[in-house]
Amino acid sequence: MKKITIAEMAEYTGQTIKLGAWIANKRSSGKIAFLQLRDGSGFVQGVVVKAEVGDDIFAAAKALTQETSLYVTGEVKEDDRSAFGYELQVTGIEVIHEAKDFPITPKEHGTEFLMDNRHLWLRSRKQHAIMKIRNEIIRSTYEFFNDNGFVKVDPPILTGSAPEGTSELFATKYFEEDAFLSQSGQLYMEAAAMALGKVFSFGPTFRAEKSKTRRHLIEFWMIEPEMAFVEHAESIEVQEQFVSHLVQSVLKNCQLDLDRLGRDTSKLEKIKAPFPRITYDEAIEWLNDNGFDDIKWGEDFGAPHETAIAEHYDMPVFIINYPIGIKPFYMQPHPERDDVVLCADLIAPEGYGEIIGGSERIYDYELMKQRIKEHNLDESAYEWYLDLSKYGAVPHSGFGLGLERTVAWISGAEHVRESIPFPRLLNRLYP
């Protein structure tokens, strides 16, 4: 008998097969038992009918506890009542390991309890669906950049510099001076773009954030493309094409997962490039006219501001040209204004906040040197980086997309902690 996975069942309609599975849940009466089986590839209902399997197998099925592992044999049947479309008419059961008192039961549990049991919580339907969507976003990211002539480059994790400011660094002792866990691979990606033209990275980044919000992790994954000879307006076009591709790929390949999460997909179907663009100046004016008198020109947006702007457009929206004072040292000044820079944040709809930060980069040697000084950065740590504006400097732009915020938005998860397998948060290092 062939051993298959739940995901492969459709190809075996009418045949008797064997599955390795766990019991996600179970319901039974005197004559029939319904086993909710999961095997990692999916979830399916196994139906055990006493009159067909006999007393012994039926008694074994009725005794199965949540998360017990087993081999099940049975016939694959079409079932149009379930979203999956198939069920298993069980003929045999072979218990591998009996699980007693699995801590996460079908009843409601508190968040801290679930987070303490994250290693087990991952097995639940909703978490399974979010991980599948995360995987599809990862897959379609590689697809997008490979199809568009980008080369994947891996920047280091241990670094000596701090591209996004020095307040949120993880320092580690080993080298003579402090080393920092990378908060962004950008500076290395700029060097790589001068060698390979269009490059992207995809790796873990670290921010010793003190914020405890639904959008902040201290370890998160970022995709950082960098493009030589590309100006900021062109970079924004790549960003909207990329984000549209992610959303459309999830819609196409993760229907069951979105369905299981109860995601309103009509909101996602609309997500197609181009996205609206507003300037920072316009955003401040709009906020001030719409009940937010607390924010003044020159200040950064808080979550409520971003949410209000995003709700107004009901689409991802680019806020462009932020004040120079609230952005990192490397951003190219606006050609006609010295108070704003050529940058954009992409704000996701439905309150998920900023998912992309990007800009054109300074490529004038003297200006870069001056900015490093103004930001009180240790010039010796940036000597190599300054070489990029010394030898064949060119206009170039890039951006960083936060994976977990994007996963949270597309899957409709409440909090970024559910969009990464093992979240690292303020005060959380386990499991």
Select 190 or 306, whichever has its Cβ closest to Mg ion: 306
Residue 263's binding partner among ligand 4AD, Mg ion, none (Cβ under 5 to 8 angstroms by kind) is: none
322 interacts with, out of Mg ion, ligand 4AD, none, CB within 5 to 8 A per kind: none
Least distance to Mg ion, CB of residue 175, Å:
28
Closer by beta carbon to Mg ion, 66 or else 235: 235
Q: Which is nearer to Mg ion, 179 or 348 (CB)?
A: 348
Secondary structure in 3-state letters for 191-230: HHHHHHCEEEEEEEEECCCCCCCCCCCCEEEEEEEEEECC
Q: Which residues pair with 228 in a beta bridge?
A: 396
| Nearest distance, CB of residue 113 and ligand 4AD, angstroms | 23
CB of 186 to ligand 4AD, least distance (A): 4
Ranges within 320-359 binding Mg ion (CB under 5 A): 357
Q: Which residue number, 185 or 357, has a Cβ lying nearer to Mg ion?
A: 357
Q: Does residue 74 interact with Mg ion by CB under 5 A?
A: no
How many of the other CB atoms lie within 10 Å of CB of 378? 13
Nearest-approach distance from CB 265 to Mg ion, in angstroms = 28
Residue 53: partners with Cβ closer than 8 Å, 6 or more residues away: 61, 90, 91, 92
Q: Quick one: what does residue 209 bind among ligand 4AD, Mg ion, none, with the CB cut-off 5 to 8 Å set by partner type? A: ligand 4AD
Q: Please tell me what DSSP assigns to residue 274.
A: P
Partnered with residue 231 across adjacent β-strands are none
Residues in contact with ligand 4AD by the rule CB under 6 A: 163-164, 184, 186, 207, 209, 216-217, 220, 222, 224, 354-358, 398-400, 402, 404-405, 416
CB of residue 358 to Mg ion, shortest distance in Å: 9
DSSP 8-state code for residue 361: B
Tell me which of ligand 4AD, Mg ion, none is bound by residue 404, counting a contact when its beta carbon lies within the kind-specific cut-off of 5 to 8 angstroms: ligand 4AD
Which one, 50 or 245, has the nearer CB to ligand 4AD?
A: 245
87/345 with CB nearer ligand 4AD: 345
Q: Exposed (0-12), middle (13-18) or buried (19+): which is 165, by Cβ within 10 Å?
A: middle
Instruction: Please identify, using beta-carbon distances, which residue of 42 and 357 lies nearer to Mg ion.
Output: 357
**Residue 124 and residue 421 in contact, taking contact as beta carbons nearer than 8 Å:** no
Shortest CB 250 distance to ligand 4AD, Å: 17
224 interacts with, out of ligand 4AD, Mg ion, none, CB within 5 to 8 A per kind: ligand 4AD
Q: ∠ CA(203), CA(190), CA(406), 5° rounding?
A: 40
The dihedral formed by the CA atoms of 8, 11, 13 and 16, expressed in degrees to the nearest 10: -60
Q: Residue 320: left (phi > 0), alpha (psi -120 to 50), or beta?
A: beta
- Residue 352 identity: Y
Among residues 133 and 356, whose Cβ is nearest to ligand 4AD? 356
Min dist CB 346 to ligand 4AD, Å, is 7
The span from the CA of 422 to the CA of 67, in Å, is 20
Judged by beta carbon distances under 5 to 8 A according to partner kind, the member of Mg ion, ligand 4AD, none in contact with residue 180 is: none
315 binds, among Mg ion, ligand 4AD, none (CB under 5 to 8 A by kind): none
Q: Is 295 helix (H, G, I), strand (E, B) or coil?
A: coil
By C-beta, is 74 or 400 nearer to Mg ion? 400
Residues 355-374: x/- map of binding to Mg ion (CB under 5 A)?
--x-----------------
Size of the site for Mg ion (CB under 5 A): 1
CB 315 within 8 Å of CB 321 = no
CB-nearer residue toward Mg ion: 66 or 184: 184
Pairing state of beta strands 2-4 and 16-28? parallel
Give which of 125, 128, 109, 121 is closest to 25, Cα–Cα: 125
Q: Which of 140, 354, 398 is nearest to 244 (CA)?
A: 140
Residue 399 binds which of Mg ion, ligand 4AD, none (CB < 5-8 A, kind-dependent): ligand 4AD
Give the nearest distance from C-beta 170 to ligand 4AD in angstroms: 12
Residue 250, classified by CB atoms within 10 Å of its CB into exposed (0-12), middle (13-18) or buried (19+), is buried
Tell me the closest approach of the beta carbon of residue 410 to ligand 4AD, in angstroms.
13
Contact (Cβ atoms closer than 8 angstroms) between residue 245 and residue 225: no
Q: Which stretches of the chain bind Mg ion, using CB under 5 A?
A: 357
